[in-house]
Amino acid sequence: MSFSRDELRAAYEEACRREIEALKPGNVHVFADGHRMSADQFLTSAEVSSGPLTDPGLPVGRRILEAVRATRKAVDTNTNLGIVLLCAPLARAAEMAGGELRQNLGKVLDELDMDDAAAVFEAIVLASPGGLGSADAHDVRETPKVGLVEAMRGAAGRDRIAHQYISRYEDVFGIGLPAIEAALTRGESGIWPTVFAYMAFFARFPDSHLARKHGPEIAESVRQEAAAVNASLDAAGDEMARIALLMDFDRSLKARDINPGTSADLTVASLFVHALRFNLHKASVDA
């Protein structure tokens, strides 16, 4: 089954909304702004980027570039580069008739070319993400000499979003989605499935946004803090105790200018996949 553009826009905007409404320590959310950005900016970014991101007339690279352009025009800051990098291939895969989503995603990734790479390079420079520097190979400020996946391969060792392009989104399907589904299975509701997905990413590996901005040692140190908080979160059954634990960690991270942006971006992609799978399952049941 393929999804219509309206269905994809709704699923994408829902994923972005659920992510910003969840209490994600260190990141921007409705409980507390941070890093000179507000929750409203992220909600606006989701709305204006959803059109280009789901435009069936655009190749994946152009979808990413036009989504970043629309975001820049609306909020004048980088709120969603990682999100659109992850969600554009997923949206294209979900448009395809027949096949399973991840199987179709593999086909989408295999077809990305140098034109896609050029558009994505332009989008990255336009978004100007924190910690962006030069690279020995496939520098985004230069004309690409290889296709997009090969360019991502060169960055995959230091960037978890690039890693998704060469691994068929193994973190999204292997960490984020199972965390959401496990939370729902045990009866979690509201913000908590999203929180548990975010914390699963945050605790599992050093956040690559942090590593770019603050260095790998700090990223690993903060990951260890996140793992300890995640363990305490699992043990806390009372919602108010959970919120107090997460807010304390949130204040500590933001006081140090620590923003686990990659973990948040992967969370949105996981929520997007979950929304698509839920809608697909619902449609099959209704039929």
236-271: pLDDT as tens digits: 878 999 999 999 999 999 999 999 999 999 999 999
Structure tokens at 72: 């820049």
The CATH number linked to 245 is 1.10.4200.10
Nearest to 28 by CA among 253, 275, 273: 253
Averaged pLDDT, 30-39: 76
The Cα–Cα gap between 58 and 77 comes to 24
* Domain count of the fold of the chain: 1
Percent of the chain predicted with pLDDT > 70: 91
pLDDT tens string 70-110: 999 999 888 999 999 999 999 999 999 888 999 999 999 99
Q: State how far the Cα of 236 lies from the Cα of 230, in Å rounded to an integer.
A: 10
Domain encompassing residue 9: 5-286
Give me the pLDDT at residue 130, please. 47
What's residue 1's pLDDT? Answer: 59
- pLDDT-based confidence at residue 128 (cuts at 50, 70, 90): confident
Confidence category of residue 142, pLDDT binned at 50, 70, 90: confident
**Residue type for 270, please?**
S
User: How far apart are the C-alpha atoms of 162 and 86, rounded to whole Å?
Assistant: 9
Going by C-alpha positions, the residue among 247, 259, 242, 229 that lies closest to residue 28 is 259
pLDDT at 31: 85
Residues sharing a CB contact under 8 Å with residue 239, sequence separation 6 or more, in sequence order: none
Q: Rounded CA gap, 276 and 262, in Å?
A: 21
The pair phi, psi for residue 32, each rounded to 5°, is: -165, 130
